């Protein structure tokens, strides 16, 4: 059983929670906690052994925690994701392989693309693919995508190089549930063509960032990041090729953390228990 807690900080929280779990006959096998001293915010992730009533345990925990506490006991263990794509295959193919061999941490319910180029790839893995063209029909296309998502009811939406700006209306329907992979080490080079911008700036490091999507373009809470060195000999094409490898790795790392309930969001920041 996994227990996720986020609340206002106060003295004695760890002791109170541990005592309650002991009285419930639950053994703590893993516990991670963090206090943001600036925000006075407490975060905890526990794994416990034993038989317990999830609803009753949630009620008991809320009763001993500060007002407004967020408590989730055994969050959905078998999560589902929907993947939105455009033309690039590298992130999607990695997700589909992990899904095929049961190492993703979730099931890919469907793939939605605004081009059909990745349909055959999805068919090889027997994952439903839906083509929703966006050309000159942003609003209509978003309605179609939202209708599809309502049908599949995913726990998270993954933008695997979707390369489209989502409307505030769309984003508000999935708060902290949309995960994007951006091809730069944010906050550097937001928006389009970051590798060309990096080349023109003469940077010595490039990277990738996985983050939750908000109304502010490429500025949502960061989940995972990585960088690799480059130098004067790298062309834009060289950076793009190298970048694809790191994009795939960063998105995979972010999904592993999110799907295992190791990421807490507050404000525009995250606490990540790796």
218 catalytic? Reply is: yes
Q: Residues near 90 by Cβ (< 8 Å), separated by ≥ 6?
A: 161, 244, 245, 247, 248
Residues 230/208, Cβ–Cβ less than 8 Å: no
- 3 state SS of 60: helix
Tokens, residue 36: 């943001």
Reduced 3-state DSSP string for 241-262: HHHHHHHHHHHHHHHHHHHCCC
Continuous segment of H or E residues that includes residue 28? strand 27-36
- 42 bridge partner residues: 7, 35
Give how far the C-alpha of residue 229 lies from the chain's centroid of Cα atoms, to the nearest Å. 25
Marked catalytic residue, from 147, 218, 238, 261? 218
Active site members: 218
């Amino acid at each position: 059983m996994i227990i996720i807690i986020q609340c206002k900080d106060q003295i004695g929280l760890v002791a109170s929670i541990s005592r309650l779990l002991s009285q419930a006959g639950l053994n703590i096998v893993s516990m991670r906690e963090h206090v943001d001293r600036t925000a006075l915010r407490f975060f905890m992730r526990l794994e416990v052994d034993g038989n317990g009533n999830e609803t009753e345990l949630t009620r008991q925990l809320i009763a001993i925690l500060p007002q407004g506490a967020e408590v989730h006991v055994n969050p959905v263990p078998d999560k589902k994701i929907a993947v939105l794509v455009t033309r690039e295959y590298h992130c999607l193919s990695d997700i589909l392989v992990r899904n095929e061999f049961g190492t993703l941490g979730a099931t890919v319910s469907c793939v939605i693309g605004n081009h059909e180029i990745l349909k055959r790839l999805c068919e090889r893995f027997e994952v439903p693919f839906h083509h929703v063209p966006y050309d000159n029909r942003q609003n209509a296309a978003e309605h179609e995508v939202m209708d599809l998502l309502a049908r599949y009811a995913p726990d998270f939406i993954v933008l695997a190089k979707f390369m489209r700006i989502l409307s505030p209306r769309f984003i508000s329907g999935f708060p902290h549930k949309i995960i994007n992979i951006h091809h730069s080490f944010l906050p550097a080079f937001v928006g389009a063509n970051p590798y060309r911008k990096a080349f023109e700036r003469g940077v010595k490091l490039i990277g990738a960032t996985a983050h939750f999507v908000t109304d502010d373009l490429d500025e949502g809470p960061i989940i995972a990041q990585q960088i690799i060195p480059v130098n004067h000999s790298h062309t834009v094409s060289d950076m793009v090729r190298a970048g694809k490898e790191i994009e795939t790795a960063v998105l995979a790392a972010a999904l592993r953390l999110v799907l295992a309930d190791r990421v807490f969001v507050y404000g525009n920041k995250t606490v990540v228990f790796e």
